Amino acid sequence: MDRFLEFVGNNLLLSGLFVAVLVAWLAWEVARLGRKWKEVGTLEAVRLINREDPLILDVSNSTDFAKGHINGAIHMPPSRIEAGNQQLLKQKDRPLLLYCQRGQVSPQMANRLVKLGFSQVHMLAGGLNQWLADNQPVSRHKDKSSKKAKGRKKQDAPS
């Protein structure tokens, strides 16, 4: 014990940083245990999709959603997750899988959905980037206006 105290006395900065990291880690774990939603990895998300048919919400921006999203996902930007969204509120009893591009926006949206009364909220850890890194399939959204433009070019072209 004397050697420990001597070490702490000789390395105050290092000891202080260790205590700060320890306190931050403990606070993180207590906050994680107090959440009403569950963070799941890619494998757990695939199991959830296959076994429980969850409502899959992509809370990314429109551009990211168009670049790619999980098959069957509904685009629901943060501005549309609100108490007045009757379409969403009808699905309260259904399991919910929520993700964004990098996993930074979805925790706040998971908290918002829990406050709206959803009881089975699951958030994809790492977001779509992790999903892609784990070689899972995505759907690519094709812009309807570009299809119309291609159709017009074919019609306008001389035969």
Which amino acid would we find at residue 142?
A: K
Choose the weakest-confidence range: 10-14, 43-47, 115-119, 140-144: 140-144
Q: With 80 as the cut, is the pLDDT of residue 141 above it?
A: no
Q: Does residue 89 lie in a domain region?
A: yes
**Is residue 59 domain-shared with residue 112, that is, in the same domain?**
yes
Q: Does residue 23 lie in a domain region?
A: yes
pLDDT of residue 14: 93
Q: Does residue 155 lie in a domain region?
A: no
Pairs from 108-115 (Cβ < 8 Å, separation ≥ 24): 108/78, 109/57, 109/59, 109/78, 109/81, 110/35, 110/37, 111/35, 111/36, 111/37, 112/78, 112/81, 113/37, 113/81, 114/36, 114/37
Provide the number of structural domains found in the chain: 2
How does residue 144 score in pLDDT terms, banded at 50, 70 and 90? very low
Average pLDDT on 17-44 reads 89
**Is residue 30 domain-shared with residue 52, that is, in the same domain?**
no
Q: Does residue 147 lie in a domain region?
A: no
Question: What percent of the chain has a predicted confidence (pLDDT) above 70?
Answer: 88
**Is residue 72 domain-shared with residue 117, that is, in the same domain?**
yes
Average pLDDT on 64-82 reads 91
Q: Does residue 1 lie in a domain region?
A: yes
**Is residue 1 domain-shared with residue 78, that is, in the same domain?**
no
Task: Give the CA radius of gyration of the chain.
Answer: 23
Give the CATH number of the domain where residue 107 resides.
3.40.250.10
**Is residue 108 domain-shared with residue 54, that is, in the same domain?**
yes
- Domain around 62: 37-140
pTM: 0.71
Q: With 70 as the cut, is the pLDDT of residue 133 above it?
A: yes
